[in-house]
Structure 1
Amino acid sequence: MHPLNLNQAFTLIESGPVVLVTTRDGDRANVMTISWTMVVDFTPVFAITTGEWNHSFAALRKHRECVIAIPTVDLLDKVVGIGTCTGADTDKFAQFALTPVPAQLVGAPLIKECLANIECKVIDIIEKHHIVVLSGVAAHVDAARQERRMVHAVGDGTFIVDGRKLDRRAMMAAKLPPGV
């Protein structure tokens, strides 16, 4: 083993999949790329990291709702492109040929091209750590979608793609809380 710059230690603990988060402010929908996500407990509560530096944050704070859209590896170049421009001067849905679909319970749109979409309400914003805590209120999945592999950001401009799924449900059945 050899020393690693402590500022790079986060690349060792890779987070959940890279997601797209949509917001709406008036007639304008926007989408941002988020690579730091978290599931909170075994409930439909999630957390993302974002803040004032992100154009979508103002709409997220003001309207307190969004959609977490789960892209797959075939959308990686669009996901990176979305994350490298601002919605302040770019219609990202048009620029990246994404189809906004009306959500059931929130004003922010679903993204048709994504594997899944989770409609969310903001339940807390922890300013000190730039964490937005979200409660899922509806979820949608495209069961017919062929590509299902998600991507994970390492944090240095590289990504890891989901691989084989290993099934240990029977082994864990006695250990999981009811309903999971």
Structure 2
Amino acid sequence: MRPLKLSQAFTLMESGPVVLVTTHDGTKDNIMTISWTMVMDFTPVFAITTGEWNHSFAALRKHRECVIAIPTVDLLDKVVGIGTCSGADTDKFAKFKLTPVPAQLVRPPLIKECLANIECKVIDIVKKHNIVVLEAVAAYLDTARKEKRTVHAVGDGTFIVDGRKIDRKAMMASRLPSGLC
């Protein structure tokens, strides 16, 4: 093994898929790209990391709602593009040719082209670490969508694409024989 700069250690543990988060600031919709996400426990509670530097943060703080949209690998260039421009001066839905779909329980829209969308309410903001804690209030999955592979940011401008699924549901649901645990 060779030493790794501590400043790069996060690239070994980057978590869930890169997501798009839609917000509404009272006037217009916006989209931001987020790669720092977390599932909290076995409940529909999630966390994202963002802060004052991000145009959407003010809408999250003021209106306390958003949609987490989960894109697939075929949308990667749009996802990266969304993350490299500001909603302060760009209509990202128009620029990246994405379709806003009215949500049922929150003002920010779903994104039609994404595999899944989760409507969320902000339940906490942990200022010290710029963590926005979200509770899901509705979720949708496009089962007709052919592409289902999501992308994961390594953190240095490269991405990993999901591969094949390996099913261990039965093993996890049953008690392991003694000697195996």
TM-score bracket for the superposition, by shorter chain length: over 0.9
Question: Which residue matches 1:60?
Answer: 60
Written as runs of structure 1 = structure 2, the 5 A alignment for 1:92-107 is: 92-107=92-107
Report the secondary structure of 2:29's partner residue. strand
Distance (Å, rounded) in 1 between the aligned partners of 2:146 and 2:38:
25
Distance (Å, rounded) in 1 between the aligned partners of 2:108 and 2:34:
16
Q: Does 1:129 align with 2:132?
A: no
Distance (Å, rounded) in 2 between the aligned partners of 1:174 and 1:32:
41
> Which consecutive aligned stretches of 4+ in structure 1 deviate over 6 angstroms post-superposition?
none
Question: Which residue matches 1:149?
Answer: 149
Question: Which residue matches 1:90?
Answer: 90
Report the secondary structure of 1:89's partner residue. coil
Question: Which residue matches 1:118?
Answer: 118
Alpha-carbon shift at residue 97 of structure 1 (Å): 0.2
Question: Which residue matches 1:32?
Answer: 32
Alpha-carbon shift at residue 174 of structure 1 (Å): 3.3
Distance (Å, rounded) in 1 between the aligned partners of 2:173 and 2:154:
31
Alpha-carbon shift at residue 113 of structure 1 (Å): 0.2
TM-score with structure 1 length normalisation?
Answer: 0.96
Question: Which residue matches 2:10?
Answer: 10
Q: Deviations over 1:57-95 (max 9, x none)?
A: 000000000000000000000000000000000000000
Q: Structure 1 counterpart of 2:110, which letter?
A: L
Distance (Å, rounded) in 2 between the aligned partners of 1:2 and 1:69:
38
Q: Does 1:76 align with 2:76?
A: yes
Question: Which residue matches 2:178?
Answer: none
- What percentage of aligned pairs have identical amino acids? 83
Report the secondary structure of 1:7's partner residue. helix
Rg: which structure is higher? 2
Q: Structure 2 counterpart of 1:30, which letter?
A: N
TM-score with structure 2 length normalisation?
Answer: 0.95
Alpha-carbon shift at residue 25 of structure 1 (Å): 1.4
Q: Structure 2 counterpart of 1:169, which letter?
A: K
What residue ranges of structure 1 are gaps of 5+ in the alignment? 176-180
Q: Does 1:44 align with 2:39?
A: no
Distance (Å, rounded) in 2 between the aligned partners of 1:142 and 1:70:
10
RMSD: 0.7
Distance (Å, rounded) in 2 between the aligned partners of 1:14 and 1:59:
26
Distance (Å, rounded) in 2 between the aligned partners of 1:26 and 1:97:
22
